[in-house]
Copies of this chain bind each other. A is one copy, B any other.
């Protein structure tokens, strides 16, 4: 047998093992899957042959015939942002308890990567959980009827199920706390998704107006610690009278904390800071971060649960939307 140069090697199949061991493919299958109805010596001979040939079963052929494996795609912008990894941890745990597999895709928070991911994901998984920035119609055109659960975003059509984060009361409590502490110049470091202010910004505005204070002290920030620092500097340069900030999330808040220190502002004495998310990270910085906190692990787990509901054919309705509540947790920074 001469190997043709450049020809890719043919895959070793169960039939090759069967031939090598002098048995049928069914006997090979029995040996490899620890089924009964096989002689001990035969089994060993088959196993040896399989090892010698470097045989590895095709998961596609196996999956085709026994339709029991469930694989879901988890799409998140960034693995370096603890919020998403905490959510992912919750989702992975919930998936594991169901025996589901999770393929993780990181989109680097870029629209083109998100599209690439959506393009490819549909042929790789049975359902999708994700944090998407593209429009619902675009999402629909890629997922084409595949079950999808959106995280932290309102599903406007009934096409998608979603897990919503309700922080309205929490943000109101945060602003009320700051006002009670004597602050009346409260800024916000927002994060714009899809070129529009966030819902968290809406909550902040409403709460500020309730207390009759200026709701316009808002600066947009990148979703990183550096972004938070830069945004705080910008805000304080323009409006030095600000004595407290509420931030879109904890990452931004931590960056603001660091920047305040660099600017010589003591937290919370000279500047109070309240974040959003309640990440574990907040307990590691100095002072510990006050935050409108939610259960990130539960968020991920709920998404998996909702997916299970969808897959069992219950469909989705407005009432199906699940909610995670975020509440004010006070620590050292405010």
The interface bits of chain A over 115-140 (1 if a CB of B lies within 8 angstroms of the residue's CB, else 0) are: 00000100111100000000000000
Closest chain B residue, CB of each to CB of A258: B284
Cross-interface CB contact of A124 among B101, B258, B285, B313, cutoff 8 Å:
B101
Does A303 sit within 8 A of B, measured CB to CB?
no
Does A54 sit within 8 A of B, measured CB to CB?
yes
Does A195 sit within 8 A of B, measured CB to CB?
no
Cross-interface CB contact of A85 among B57, B79, B254, cutoff 8 Å:
B79
Does A280 sit within 8 A of B, measured CB to CB?
yes
The interface bits of chain A over 48-65 (1 if a CB of B lies within 8 angstroms of the residue's CB, else 0) are: 000100111111111110
Given contacts A64-B60, A144-B56, contact A281 B281 (CB under 8 A): yes
CB distance from A232 to the nearest CB of B (A): 14
Closest chain B residue, CB of each to CB of A47: B144
Does A93 sit within 8 A of B, measured CB to CB?
yes
Number of copies of this chain that the complex holds: 2
Given contacts A103-B103, A146-B56, contact A80 B69 (CB under 8 A): no
Interface of chain A residues 238 through 275 with chain B (CB within 8 A): 254-255, 258, 261
Given contacts A102-B103, A123-B62, contact A284 B145 (CB under 8 A): no
**CB pair A123 B261 closer than 8 Å:** no
**CB pair B80 A85 closer than 8 Å:** yes
Contacts of A124 in B (CB 8 A): 59, 69, 71, 101
CB distance from A113 to the nearest CB of B (A): 8
Does A109 sit within 8 A of B, measured CB to CB?
no
**CB pair A89 B101 closer than 8 Å:** no
The interface bits of chain A over 137-179 (1 if a CB of B lies within 8 angstroms of the residue's CB, else 0) are: 0000000111000000000000000000000000000000000
Contacts of A145 in B (CB 8 A): 51, 54-56
Contacts of A301 in B (CB 8 A): none
Contacts of A80 in B (CB 8 A): 82, 85-86, 89, 280
Does A322 sit within 8 A of B, measured CB to CB?
no
Cross-interface CB contact of A106 among B93, B99, B261, cutoff 8 Å:
B93
CB distance from A18 to the nearest CB of B (A): 17
Does A217 sit within 8 A of B, measured CB to CB?
no
Does A292 sit within 8 A of B, measured CB to CB?
no
Q: In the complex the two chains form, what is the Cα distance from A61 to B64 in whole Å?
A: 6
CB distance from A95 to the nearest CB of B (A): 10
Does A88 sit within 8 A of B, measured CB to CB?
yes
Closest chain B residue, CB of each to CB of A300: B79
Does A67 sit within 8 A of B, measured CB to CB?
yes
Does A302 sit within 8 A of B, measured CB to CB?
no
Q: In the complex the two chains form, what is the Cα distance from A228 to B69 in whole Å?
A: 40
Does A219 sit within 8 A of B, measured CB to CB?
no
**CB pair A57 B284 closer than 8 Å:** no
Q: In the complex the two chains form, what is the Cα distance from A313 to B8 in whole Å?
A: 11
Contacts of A146 in B (CB 8 A): 56
Given contacts A69-B124, A281-B284, contact A103 B101 (CB under 8 A): yes
Given contacts A51-B144, A89-B79, A104-B104, contact A59 B123 (CB under 8 A): yes
Contacts of A54 in B (CB 8 A): 145
